[in-house]
Structure 1
Amino acid sequence: MRIISGDYRGRALKAVPGSATRPTTDKIKEAVFNLIGPYFDGGRSLDLYAGSGGLSIEGVSRGIEEAVLVDRQFAAIKTIQSNVAVTKESEKFTVIKSSADQAIQRLNGQQAFDLFYFDPPYAKQTIQADVEKLSAANLIADNAILMAETDQEAQLPDQIGGFELWKQREYGITVITIYRFKG
């Protein structure tokens, strides 16, 4: 795995050891950023199931100002911290060891996020419930983008909370669904 584009382009990233985490491949990561816009002019991102942190690091490499990465596994947190160190700009990243629910509670009242990465374990599709909690905590910025990586069995709806389906692509068993926040 590597950082594909932007300020950190070409730097290698580690995967979380073991089989508990499924890393987003470079091919899928590149497809995601081709769909949501290749580069950003600031903003904040949130990844509630960060795994190795690759999506958030790629986003910051491409112009996101600040990324919050959440995972509940100790091995994932260690991997994220190691991968963030590769950027040599750790001040742009906040790493939280927590469940998604606890992280949303902890972030309640903070500045809203412009970009959300949702790549929960395929067997535990909690995207709709997580979006409702984010909305209740006022953590969704106007015109925010939500990227969901699922398998083909997930069957996400055209609307989730105030988000409306914008784009969707299939890559083998992986489905990338992009939503825009309409409020």
Structure 2
Amino acid sequence: MRVIAGSARSLKLKTLEGIDTRPTTDRIKETLFNMIAPYLYDCEFLDLFAGSGGIGIEALSRGAKEAVFVEKNPKAMECIKENLKFTRLEKKGITLTKDVLNALYQLEGDKVFDYIFMDPPYDQELEKQVLKYLAGSSLVYEDTVIIVEASLNTDFSYIGELGFSLIKEKRYKTNKHVFLEKAGKEEIC
């Protein structure tokens, strides 16, 4: 796994051995960032279930002002910290070694994010729990884009009930990215 573009371009990132984390492949990461790159500069980025930190580090490398990394696995968090140091982005990264919902509660009232990315373990409905929390959270404002990486069969039919609308869905061979925003936002064409 490597950083694709920006200040840390081509630097190889460490990942955890084993199956505890599932790093987003370079190809999928490149596709994702091609979609959001024009809007990353000076943004606040939240990387939930951060694994080795590859998504948040990519955002920082491409100009995000700050990224918060949330990962409850201490070994994975150590990997994130090493990757931030190696890419010289540690001053722009905040790390929280705790459960995602506890971290969100801790950040409440202190941060507002432009992008929230989450890559929870597949098929456990953890994304649903996080979206339920974010539906009433001050961490999200009308322009926040929430991106969920999920298995192809993950159902998001409930998002309207939570006050979110689907911006787009990008499907890959084994998974998908679902882009959400607060419902009712006026579209400017």
TM-score by length of 1: 0.92
Aligned partner of 1:176 in structure 2 is: 177
Alignment of 1:31-46 (within 5 A): 31-38=31-38, 40-46=40-46
Aligned residues of 1:122 and 1:151 also touching (Cα < 8 A): yes
What residue in structure 2 maps to residue 79 of structure 1? 79
Match of 1:121 in 2: 121
CA distance in 2, matches of 1:41, 1:169: 22
TM-score, normalisation: structure 2:
0.89
Aligned residue for 1:130, secondary structure, equals: helix
Work out the CA distance in 1 between the residues paired with 2:36 and 2:183: 16
Question: CA offsets, 1:128-167, max 9 Å, x none?
Answer: 3212323433111331111111111112237353332111
Q: Identity over the aligned pairs, expressed in percent? A: 34
Instruction: Count the aligned residue pairs.
Output: 183
Distance in 1, matches of 2:47 and 2:137, equals 16
Contact 1:118 1:127 in 2 (8 A): yes
Aligned to 2:187: none
Other-structure match for 2:11: 11
Confirm or deny that 1:69 pairs with 2:100: no
Cα distance change on mapping 1:131 and 1:163 into 2, 3 Å: same
Corresponding residue for 1:163? Answer: 164
C-alpha RMSD over aligned residues: 1.7
Greater CA drift, 94-103 or 33-42: 33-42
CA distances 1:26-55 after superposition (whole Å, capped 9, x unpaired): 011011112233552212111120001000
Supply the distance in 2 between the matched residues of 1:144 and 1:37 (Cα, whole angstroms).
15
Match of 2:58 in 1: 58
Whole-angstrom distance in 2 between the partners of 1:55 and 1:18: 19
Give the unaligned 5+ runs of structure 1. Answer: none
Deviations 1:23-82 (A, max 9, x none): 111011011112233552212111120001000000111111000001111111111011
Residue identity matched to 1:96: L
Does structure 1 residue 93 correspond to structure 2 residue 99? Answer: no
CA contact (8 A) 2:60 2:89 kept: no
Asked if structure 2 preserves the Cα contact closer than 8 Å seen for 1:3 and 1:11, the reply is: yes
Q: What amino acid sits opposite 1:176 in the alignment?
A: H
TM superposition shift of 1:182: 4.0
- CA drift at 1:168: 1.1
Report the more deviating stretch, 128-137 or 95-104: 128-137
